[in-house]
Amino acid sequence: MIKKIIKLLAFGLGGLFLILLIGYLFYSIKANRSASEYLTQLGPEAPLLVDEGESYRDLNKNGKRDVYENKNKPIDQRVEDLIQQMTVEEKAGSLFIDMIGVNADGTLMEKPSLTDPFSFIMASTSEMTIGKQMNHFNIRAAHPKEKMLEWYNALQKRGERSRLGIPITVASDPRHGVPTTFGASIYTPYFSKWPSALGFGAIDDSLLVQEHAKIVRQEYNAIGIKLALGPMADTATEPRWTRVNGTFGENAEVNARLTAAYIRGLQGDSIDTHSVLAMVKHFPGSGALDDGKDSHFPPGIQSYKGGQFDYHLKPFEAAFEAGVGSVMPYYSVPKGITQEEVAAGYNKEIITNLLRERYQFNGIICSDWGIITDKKMIGFLFKPASAYGVEELNTKERIQKIFDAGVDMIGGESVSQPLVEAIQSGMISEARIDQSLRRVMKEKFRLGLFDQPYLDKKDLEILSNPKSIALGVEAQKKSVVLLKNENNILPLDVKTKIHLYGFEPDYSSDFQNVSLKDADVIIAKIQTPKGEGVEAESLMQKMLEGGRLDYTQEQLNEFIPLFKSKPTIVVANLQRPAILTEIDQVAQALIADFDVSNEVILDLIFGNFKPSGTLPIQLPSSMQSVLDQLEDTPFDAEKALYEYGHGLNYN
């Protein structure tokens, strides 16, 4: 009987494998055929010609030097000349930015790969660049640097062979974090490693932040990233929000200084060929979400119960003063702030009245990702459209309302054909589209992409720079906060026998890491609670909805007896303001870790450097105090376990 069952299972698995193989072959053949058809629409490469003794790239291949091809002409004139030559389809494609795949071998992704399951649900490069005529993309890949450079140059060659030779702008979320796990930050091994933004808040040093951003600029430029999807200027007054660690913390004044410093470091004194354009987000401040519910998902409301709307604007005001090139509005509905209660990306009072008119911002306004298409893939996960207040509108009507609000680009979407149809039918005037194109193309020119978009292998030499790596490690050290040090247990003597708990299974220490039985001290690393009590309809919602901040009874039943068994030093990795009350009662020492390396943590514990960071957020003492506080109001947790600004040093 068992043999029969095994035989049936083997037959079933074999059949399933065969079906999947046939499906893959069919999908591959179809993708190859589609790519071949698209490639026939491409023109030749742009020849290098000479005019008045100066060489130039003949991007439209017409044998003469057009104004937009002439680097000596004012940028505004170059932009106007380009726009006059663009078709409606080219204009529409230029106003979307979406995720694009990157093959591990440095080639353009045209068909799905068995080594990359997500490639089966991503559009091919040809479909996006030729079929939809798009020229802005964001990437999550972190393949070997040489392959990333090869891919980038191949993508620019694709842009060069378009009718007008419009270059490609490549964007990315943050890449300079220590964690290797999937998340908002993309682990990139050859970039220097720094603490989280919350860690920079714990340091509160604008000069260091500016130096960090300069290094980010150099390392991004080395592989062709010219647009940074950040910084987050949100002020994290709502502790349940799952993206607290992407902010500089709870103090809007500190956030303003650090946000401005980051933008100056990233863009330079002015935007030019050496710059990386910053896209500050999420205007007018996403750190005050009702009940801490992430607004990727309904209901997406911020009602400012404490009347602190203006408090959350302060970091953005600093960003505008620093000359930030682009702004991303938040997903939420600013309830009670505007007459029409619709999401910010659709909200004319937020985009035009506040951002354009009050703040005189004339850079690019780009919506957050996925506000039009339902069940859109964002970062390889699916989410519903964050179209709060306009759910009844169809795709073209949503696009119309977005542009009517004053937005220039639409993020995480590639629905260029509906925009074409909306222009052709008169729903959206071409003149209105040209307004946004002027802003979008101006930045491509300022970044030097029209004149020289390609990279050389020598550009990679800046990567893995020992000085940059050392500065990143130093910043990690400065970010660590010593919350408690009972009886001055820290620093430990180097001869102390330690037992590591909660560290990666394969992590080995240079110190005496022994069994629990033989240890003098336990060093325990714990993570911030996440996902508890969340009623999620998808994996992405489970990941993004932070839920409760206290540990479950099951977790405490594991932690407390262990931490009581030996003197214990607890290292709390703070993604959000975790409730550490029960743990604090049994720990001899408590350390706040803002995504630093294990080596840095142990160096602190053994006294190789002294702690200097201070808390950039309050740490609440109970879940009830979290429920009682106001989402938009800073420092209002009653009887906080540790107050904002708390931090000890070694005596």
The rounded percent of the chain whose pLDDT value lies above 90 is: 83
Predicted pLDDT at 378: 55
CA angle 546, 548, 549 (to 5 degrees): 95
Instruction: Say what the pLDDT of residue 380 is.
Output: 47
Query: Are β-strands 481-485 and 589-593 bridged in parallel, bridged antiparallel, or unpaired?
Result: antiparallel
Average pLDDT rounded to a whole number, residues 193-221: 98
Interhelix angle 430-446/75-85, rounded to 10 degrees, is 130
Determine contact, residues 144/111, Cβ cutoff 8 Å.
no
For residue 368, indicate whether it is catalytic. Answer: yes
Q: What is the pLDDT of residue 413?
A: 95
Could you tell me which of 283, 297, 286, 281 has the C-alpha nearest to residue 376? 297
Is the model's pLDDT at 412 over the cut of 60?
Answer: yes
Whether a cis peptide bond, with omega within 30° of 0, leads into 284 is: yes
pLDDT tens for 104-162 read 999 999 987 766 666 677 889 999 999 999 999 999 999 999 999 999 999 999 999 99
Query: Which of 8-17, 184-193, 483-492 is most confident?
Result: 483-492
Least confident of 3-12, 124-133, 552-561: 3-12
For 84, half-sphere exposure in the C-beta direction (CA atoms, 13 angstrom radius) is 9
Q: Which amino acid is at 619?
A: L
Tell the burial category of 74 from Cβ atoms under 10 Å away from its Cβ (0-12, 13-18, 19+). exposed
Which structure tokens are listed for 216?
A: 């980010």
Q: What is the DSSP string of 34-100?
A: HHHHHHTT--PPPPEEEETTEEEE-TT-SSS--GGG-TTS-HHHHHHHHHHH--HHHHHHTTEEEE-
Question: Which range is least confidently modeled, 19-23, 202-206, 539-543?
Answer: 19-23
DSSP codes joined into one string, 216-271: HHHHHHHTTEEEE---B------TT-TTGGGSS-S-HHHHHHHHHHHHHHHH-SS-
Which of 84-88, 177-181, 487-491, 626-630 has the lowest average pLDDT? 177-181
Q: Can you give the pLDDT at residue 116?
A: 67
Q: Which amino acid is at 573?
A: N
Catalytic residue among 204, 290, 368, 595: 368
Report the pLDDT averaged over residues 570-592.
98
pLDDT in tens, 246-255: 999 999 999 9
Task: Inform me whether the pLDDT recorded for 95 exceeds 50.
Answer: yes
Give tens-digit pLDDT for 190-201: 999 999 999 999
Q: Find the range with the poorest average confidence among 24-28, 153-157, 374-378, 587-591.
A: 24-28
Question: Each residue of 364-396: pLDDT tens digit?
Answer: 999 999 999 986 655 545 778 999 999 999 999
Out of 405-409, 534-538, 616-620, which region has the weakest mean confidence (pLDDT)?
534-538
8: three-class secondary structure by DSSP: helix
pLDDT exceeds cutoff 50 at 476: yes
Mean residue pLDDT of the chain comes to 93
What are the pLDDT digits (tens) for 32-74?
676 778 888 899 999 999 999 999 999 999 999 999 999 999 9
Query: CA-to-CA distance for 562 and 585, rounded, in angstroms?
Result: 13
Span 20-29, mean pLDDT?
56
